[in-house]
């Protein structure tokens, strides 16, 4: 993961030696996430459940296309089972979940994403990034970027994307960006935007402002356009 200001790459060391079984969901958090998805995104089409999970059980909810949102939306539930390690001085919640949207015709089924199918990489990326802060004792926030390897490699054959940047959601109301839990906890719902390798390089070498200019140039949002060019 690279720093939010783009001053190179931070290479983290795992805090865990091998598999650490998840302790199970926070029921109040899981129920709040369910309600939030139904209210702000639409009916859930199906869920990619995890059975044996490392550190946290990251389930991926798939919301089907609606008239208001004519595309699929993938949202994690379980990243917030554990708090992230947020440094002092950052006024953000230690709890987060992730999302991205896919075109309605993206070849996605109830088994796609559970194996190595090329079109399942968005599901796998959500799970990988959701587990990252717990694996390495760190945190994920807006404008952090996560290259796919060092050097960054495409997520799957046939896709140009080789990393993601964490951003605020743009295609929602402001209220959708925070999940309120009855106990007063707040869960940030953050978007992942897949990046081309040279866009990843912009973030690392020139920083957040330069990457924002690149994404604005292409009107890039959390709705993935699989054929979009690089705007770097």
Please report, in angstroms and rounded to a whole number, the separation of the first and last CA atoms in the chain: 20
Q: Which tokens go with 26?
A: 């926070």
pLDDT of 6: 47
- Cα–Cα distance between 187 and 97 in angstroms, integer? 7
Residue 179, H or E segment:
strand 178-180
Sites in the chain below the pLDDT cut of 70: 1-14, 112-114
Query: Each residue of 57-116: pLDDT tens digit?
Result: 899 999 999 999 999 999 999 999 999 999 888 889 999 999 999 999 998 888 766 677
Closest CA to 123 of 181, 186, 49: 49
pLDDT of 69: 95
- Cα–Cα distance between 20 and 122 in angstroms, integer? 24
pLDDT of 13: 66
pLDDT of 7: 41
Under 8 Å CB-to-CB from 155, ≥6 apart: which residues?
Answer: 121, 124, 125, 148, 161, 162, 194
Domain ranges of the chain: 27-217
Note if the pTM is more than 0.95: no
pLDDT of 112: 66
CA distances in angstroms from 186 to 28, 50, 169, 179, listed in the order given: 12, 24, 16, 6
Largest CA distance in the chain: 47
pLDDT of 23: 83
């Amino acid at each position: 993961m690279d720093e939010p200001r783009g001053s190179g790459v931070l290479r983290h060391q795992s805090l865990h030696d091998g598999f650490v079984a998840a302790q199970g969901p926070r029921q109040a958090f899981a129920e709040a996430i369910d309600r939030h998805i139904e209210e702000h995104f639409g009916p859930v089409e199906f869920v990619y459940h995890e059975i044996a999970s490392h550190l946290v059980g990251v389930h991926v909810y798939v919301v089907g296309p609606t008239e208001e949102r004519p595309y699929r939306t993938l949202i994690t539930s379980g990243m917030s089972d554990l708090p992230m390690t947020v440094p002092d001085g950052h006024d953000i919640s230690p709890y987060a979940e992730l999302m991205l949207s896919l075109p309605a015709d993206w070849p996605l089924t109830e088994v796609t994403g559970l194996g190595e199918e090329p079109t399942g990489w968005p599901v796998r990326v959500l799970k990988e990034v959701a587990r990252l802060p717990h694996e390495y004792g760190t945190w994920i926030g807006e404008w952090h970027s996560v290259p796919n390897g060092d050097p960054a490699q495409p997520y799957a054959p046939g896709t140009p994307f080789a990393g993601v940047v964490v951003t605020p959601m743009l295609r929602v109301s402001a209220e959708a960006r925070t999940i309120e839990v009855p106990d007063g906890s707040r869960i940030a719902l953050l978007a992942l935007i897949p990046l081309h390798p040279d866009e990843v390089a912009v973030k690392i070498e020139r920083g957040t402002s330069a990457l924002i200019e690149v994404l604005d140039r292409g009107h890039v949002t959390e709705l993935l356009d699989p054929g979009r060019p690089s705007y770097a």
